[in-house]
């Protein structure tokens, strides 16, 4: 019992330390959320919709002006996962995005493919044990680690950068660069009560226009409870937090002060497994604390919904 308690405390400490991809836009500072994955034996494919918003060109003390811009990012992505071997899992996403921004009565929008990702995960640790006591409980633990690559499928438009006032390079479908990802996911469940932690670190490279988005990292922590709603179905409501951090961007090697930042968000959601084949769920997130682009940007609420089929 002491080991289980220590593990839970350690996860909460890791999940809240100030070390870590601000999902404040649909391109360079996008996060790669894994979340509570449904259990599956071989393959899983599905669709996921994500929405988030960003207000840029904010003045001192949060004041607005004719330069203040509201950006919205709608992303529909195909995602899939495959067990290539008992301990090796491959995951991939291909997004399609519709992004828009409104400023002083004018509106601009773009649509097209976003940057695709491919990640490989290796199962480092898996254990099932019994927690002794008056009411014995089954304990499940699993740890996955891996890495991957982000491919520049999305368009990066150097000429389309916003240079009015402080230059904030968020309104892009992609980064224009090949970037690299490091990932880890840990799940601890005592009977039907569990905690899930996943972390990622994104290493960005310079694109052909000499622009490099800052490296980003994120940690998501979720506490969930699995409820059986039938012989082959279950629902798992969850509460959690996401702590994200992005370093400064560089343009032709020069650091841009109006970039990067940190963001802490609270989340509530649920995951459902139906007939042991269909997985669906989603979350709603709201900012709890943020300091983005040196105070010139502010993230808003965001949400995600998904459905997937296991086969």
pLDDT band at 57 (very low <50, low <70, confident <90, very high): confident
Which residues make Cβ contacts (< 8 Å) with residue 236, sequence separation at least 6? 36, 224, 225, 226, 227, 270, 271, 272, 281
Residue 12 carries which DSSP code? H
Q: How many CA atoms lie within 13 A of 37 on its CB side?
A: 27
Residue 77 confidence (pLDDT) = 94
Helix and strand totals (H; E) in the chain: 1, 18
CB atoms within 10 A of CB 295: 16
pLDDT band at 105 (very low <50, low <70, confident <90, very high): confident
Query: Is 22 a residue whose pLDDT tops 60?
Result: no
Number of domains into which the chain is organized: 1
pLDDT band at 12 (very low <50, low <70, confident <90, very high): very low
Residue 86 confidence (pLDDT) = 87
pLDDT > 70: what percent of the chain? Answer: 84
Which residues make Cβ contacts (< 8 Å) with residue 162, sequence separation at least 6? 56, 69, 168, 169, 170, 171
How many angstroms separate the CA atoms of 246 and 251, rounded? 15
Place of tokens 């970037």: 179
Per the structure block, which two tokens stand in for 191? 């009977």
Residue 17 confidence (pLDDT) = 36
Residue 62 confidence (pLDDT) = 73
Per the structure block, which two tokens stand in for 255? 């650091």
Give the CATH number for residue 247.
2.40.128.130
Domain membership of residue 237 as a residue range: 2-310
What pLDDT, in 10s, does the model give residues 191-211? Answer: 999 999 999 999 999 999 999
pLDDT band at 27 (very low <50, low <70, confident <90, very high): very low
Per the structure block, which two tokens stand in for 65? 């002006």
Diameter over CA atoms, the chain: 68
Strongest mean pLDDT among 78-82, 101-105, 168-172: 78-82
What pLDDT, in 10s, does the model give residues 262-286? Answer: 999 999 999 999 988 899 999 999 9
What pLDDT, in 10s, does the model give residues 206-246? Answer: 999 999 999 999 999 999 999 999 888 999 999 999 999 99
Query: Is 9 a residue whose pLDDT tops 80?
Result: no
How many angstroms separate the CA atoms of 177 and 287, rounded? 28
What pLDDT, in 10s, does the model give residues 132-184? Answer: 877 788 999 999 999 999 999 999 988 766 655 556 788 899 999 999 999 99
């Amino acid at each position: 019992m002491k080991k289980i308690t220590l593990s839970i405390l350690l996860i909460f400490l890791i999940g809240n330390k100030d070390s870590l991809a601000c999902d404040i836009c649909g391109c360079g500072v996008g996060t790669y959320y894994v979340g509570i994955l449904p259990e599956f034996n071989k393959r899983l494919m599905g669709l996921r919709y994500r929405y988030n918003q960003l207000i840029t060109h904010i003045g001192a003390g949060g004041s607005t002006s004719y330069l203040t811009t509201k950006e919205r990012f709608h992303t529909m992505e195909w995602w899939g996962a495959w067990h290539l071997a008992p301990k090796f899992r491959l995951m991939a996403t291909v997004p399609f995005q519709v992004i828009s921004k409104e400023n002083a009565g004018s509106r601009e929008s773009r649509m097209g493919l976003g940057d695709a990702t491919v990640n490989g995960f290796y199962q480092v640790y898996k254990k099932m044990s019994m927690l002794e006591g008056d009411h014995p409980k089954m304990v499940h633990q699993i740890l996955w680690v891996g890495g991957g690559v982000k491919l520049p499928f999305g368009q990066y438009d150097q000429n389309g950068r916003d240079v009015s006032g402080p230059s904030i390079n968020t309104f892009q479908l992609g980064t224009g660069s090949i970037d690299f990802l490091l990932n880890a996911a840990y799940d601890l469940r005592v009977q039907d009560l569990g905690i899930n932690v996943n972390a990622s670190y994104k290493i960005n490279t310079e694109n052909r226009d000499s622009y490099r988005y800052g490296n980003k990292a994120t940690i998501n922590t979720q506490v969930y409870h699995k409820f059986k709603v039938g012989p082959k179905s279950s629902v798992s409501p969850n509460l959690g937090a996401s702590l994200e951090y992005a370093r400064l961007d560089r343009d032709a090697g020069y650091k841009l002060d109006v970039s990067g930042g940190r963001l802490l968000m609270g989340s509530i959601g649920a995951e459902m497994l139906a007939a042991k084949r269909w997985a669906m769920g989603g979350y709603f997130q709201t900012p709890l604390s943020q300091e983005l682009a040196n105070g010139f940007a502010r993230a808003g609420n965001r949400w995600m919904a998904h459905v997937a089929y296991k086969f």
